[in-house]
Amino acid sequence: MKKTFLFLFFLGVVNGVSAQELTWHTDINKAIGISSQTNKPMLLFFTGSDWCGWCIKLQKEVFLKPEFKEWANNVVLVELDFPRKTKLEPALAQQNAQLQQIFQVSGYPTIWFVTPQKIGEQINLQQLGKTGYVGGGPSKWIEVANQFIAKK
């Protein structure tokens, strides 16, 4: 009986943790499609995942916290990575570099909030605002992010 209870408890904990996992998209076109279908703004996270200290700090202090994971249901998450130790596929590296130029990203982390808008046959990413690392944990970061999302 105890073993069954412990197994069910463990199974529930594992399911609860996995339900809180975030989906970070790397394909901008796929993310645009999801954003258009769900009518959610996109969060574009420009990062240097394996070398940028502030990016790593933002991940640990905000993005990996349950409060952020719950809030993230409001947006489509897109990671645009510029690693130094890991080599990206050429198409992904090119996509990220193009978006870096379009959004004039010069430092990391940079987070842009955008919404896709179809103009004729083209998709335009309407800028709602940008931020970066915000000290004070997930509640302070979410407070800043919500100001941009409110513009949608």
Q: What's the sign of the alpha-carbon dihedral 27, 32, 46, 107? A: positive
Q: What's the sign of the alpha-carbon dihedral 53, 115, 118, 31? A: positive
pLDDT of 36 over the 50 cut:
yes
Interacting residues of 108 by C-beta distance below 8 A, sequence separation 6+: 46, 47, 48, 52, 54, 55, 82, 132
- The predicted-structure confidence for 47-98, as pLDDT tens digits, reads as follows 999 999 999 999 999 999 999 999 999 999 999 999 999 999 999 999 999 9
Per-residue model confidence (pLDDT) at position 8: 39
Confidence of residue 105 (pLDDT cuts 50, 70, 90): very high
pTM of the model: 0.86
Q: Give the residue ranges of DSSP H helices in 20-149.
A: 28-38, 53-58, 66-71, 90-102, 138-149
Per-residue model confidence (pLDDT) at position 119: 85
